[in-house]
Amino acid sequence: MDRSTVTDTASTPANHAVSGRLDGLTRWEADWAGLRVVVTGITKTGFSAADTLAELGARVVVVAASDDDAARHAADTLKMVGVHEVILGEAGSTVLPLVDGEPAELVVTSPGYKPSHPLLAAAAHAGIPIWGDVELAWRVRIREGRRTAEWITITGTNGKTTTTTMVEHMLQAAGLRAIAAGNIGTPILDAVRDPDGWDALAVELSSFQLHWTRSLEPVSSVCLNLAEDHVDWHGSFEAYAADKAKVYANTKVACVYNAEQIETERMVEGADVREGCRAVGFTTGMPAISMVGVVEGLIVDRAFIAERKDSAVELAHVSDIAELVPRHLVANAAAAAALVRAYGLTPENVRDGLRAFESSEHRIQPVATSGGILWVNDSKATNPHAASASLAAFKPVIWIAGGLSKGVEYDELVRTHAGRLKAVVLIGEDSSALAGALSRHAPDVPVIETGRAQTDKEGMVETPIFGDVVMAQAVAAAAALAADGDTVLMAPASASMDQFSSYAHRGQAFIDAVRELLERRASANKES
């Protein structure tokens, strides 16, 4: 089969006809049959997109750079359910293929593919529309004989998963059939294809997913916060922010913004929303009118009550959230409360949902307290903004940090929290950017580097150190520095993939290393 790239057809009558056909694809029973689609990726997102399109009767070609056992197994499964062709391997994944010898009419891409990827760039040049899995899910969500869920959409640099989970629990506390989906847990296409349907979906959206959306109409939406992240994918911070702002487009009831970060309020001001949609703020302080905030340890609502000009209604106690409640977790709860109040939930639903919520693993997770030292795992702090929220909660801190920086800068982070730092233990194959910021803004704070590549006795052979060994070294170094009243905080402010398989792997390695250290100490004390 000819797999060459298609020619530039952006201005041809045929291409305009395709565009018109796509505009009509807004429910499951629409005319999807025979639509020529290229799907990129074959892991969870790509697989669910290809499977859905095949079920709809589209002609589908899947391309993926991977060619391992898992990819080949997925390819065999997709062919059995009606996918026309699967092209595996790095070479084939960079070329926009033909579908049954004709140009594709649509590309559905997985979030990992950058807009600059050669295949997507070729599609854009040819005028072929590009959707993400979220856009496809929105268009097939309406199906005859099945309930259609309202969507509550959540994005932000940090806190997305926590807030989405809180929303899920609040909806369920109201007796609704609801689930968290999207960038968390269940792929969004799997959720919308559930045979019983849902009353509501709490949809976590990454900036990658939002980049490819255009049609969503959520009942309520939020961008929790905005800080530099994923510049390598988007090309610039401005492009990243613009994609985050798309969460507010077409919102029907309430655009929820962070009253403590003006950038999110400006996103709402610039959003094209449905008539009657309101702007509702959330804050960890005293709320103004049309806000949800905190008063004397209570989360309160001054937005969704008739008497909001001079009173507020209690939603929950801050202590309902978790055992350890840093400020950012309170902010997440206030945002979640605003989102579900827009949906129509009662104060009791908000309270019961927060009580059912369990803070996610690897996000400011207390691991142990021994000898007056608190050990905290925040491996999910994969960027400076997330790490800043962790550092703000503790003092004095022995900070374990470093890893894959993703092109971000650390000067503001270190400058802000230098006074909290007792010492820093660096991990990561290359933490030079963080080390440089520490030398500039915290020159008196001791810095210990661990987990770097080692050489043999002649200094000739480099042996990288990965995973559990890296973390064991870092924990031992931190333990040697810590004393009664200190917190050892593992909040790397960096991605994990240089030395670990994921942030979860990194977090579990920290937990295991701390427990092993404390067990050895306890055993030694018994023997003595």
Instruction: Give every CB contact of residue 292 below 8 A, 6+ residues apart in sequence.
Output: 280, 281, 282, 283, 299, 300, 301, 302, 303, 315, 334, 335, 337, 338, 341
Burial (CB count within 10 angstroms: exposed 0-12, middle 13-18, buried 19+), residue 76: exposed
User: Is the bond leading into 384 cis (omega within 30 degrees of zero)?
Assistant: no
Q: Is 162 annotated as a binding residue?
A: yes
Q: Which tens digits make up the pLDDT trace of 509-526?
A: 999 999 999 999 888 877
What are the residue ranges of helices labelled H in 316-401? 327-343, 347-356, 384-391
Q: Is 44 annotated as a binding residue?
A: no
d(CA 203, CA 304): 22
Is residue 1 pLDDT above 60, yes or no? Answer: no
Q: Between the CA atoms of 421, 427, 431 and 436, what dihedral angle is there, to the nearest 10 degrees?
A: 20
387: nearest Cα among 358, 354, 357, 420: 420
Is residue 393 pLDDT above 60, yes or no? Answer: yes
Give how far the C-alpha of residue 256 lies from the chain's centroid of Cα atoms, to the nearest Å. 18
Q: Between the CA atoms of 158, 159, 161 and 164, what dihedral angle is there, to the nearest 10 degrees?
A: -130
Angle between helices 467-481 and 503-527 (to 10 degrees): 50
In the block, residue with structure tokens 């449905």: 274
d(CA 516, CA 472): 9
Looking at domain 365-527, its CATH architecture is: Alpha-Beta Complex (3.90)
Angle between helices 327-343 and 160-173 (to 10 degrees): 40
Please tell me the predicted confidence (pLDDT) of residue 11: 41
Cα–Cα–Cα angle for 215, 219, 222, rounded to 5 degrees: 85
Task: State both tokens at 12.
Answer: 């041809």
Q: What does the DSSP 8-state code read for residue 5?
A: P
Q: Which tens digits make up the pLDDT trace of 260-301?
A: 999 999 999 999 999 999 999 999 999 999 999 999 999 999
Q: Is 158 annotated as a binding residue?
A: yes
Are 447 and 438 in contact by the 8 Å Cβ rule? The answer is yes
What ranges do the domains of the chain cover?
A: 13-136, 145-356, 365-527
Q: Which tens digits make up the pLDDT trace of 17-57?
A: 566 789 999 999 999 999 999 999 999 999 999 999 999 99
Is the domain spanning 145-356 CATH 3.40.50.10860? The answer is: no
Q: What value does the mean pLDDT of the chain take?
A: 90
Q: Is 344 annotated as a binding residue?
A: no
Task: State both tokens at 200.
Answer: 């509501």
Q: Which tens digits make up the pLDDT trace of 71-121?
A: 999 999 999 999 999 999 988 888 999 999 999 999 999 988 999 999 999
Is residue 389 pLDDT above 90, yes or no? Answer: no
Give 224-258 as a DSSP string: ----S--HHHHSSHHHHHHHHHGGGTT-SSEEEEE
Q: Is 157 annotated as a binding residue?
A: yes
Q: Is 9 annotated as a binding residue?
A: no
- Tell me which of 452 and 307 has the higher pLDDT: 307
Give strand ranges (E) for 344-437.
365-370, 373-377, 397-401, 421-426
φ/ψ of 154, rounded to 5, equals -130, 130
Q: Which tens digits make up the pLDDT trace of 463-513?
A: 456 778 889 999 999 999 999 999 999 999 998 888 888 888 999 999 999
Distance linking the first and last C-alpha atoms of the chain: 75
The count of residues in the chain is 528
State the fold for domain 13-136: Rossmann fold (3.40.50)
Instruction: Give every CB contact of residue 80 below 8 A, 6+ residues apart in sequence.
Output: none
d(CA 88, CA 343): 44
pTM of the complete model beyond 0.85? no
Please tell me the predicted confidence (pLDDT) of residue 131: 98
Is residue 406 pLDDT above 90, yes or no? Answer: no
Is residue 15 pLDDT above 60, yes or no? Answer: no
Written in H, E and C, the secondary structure of 473-488 is HHHHHHHHHCCCCCEE
Q: Is 457 annotated as a binding residue?
A: no
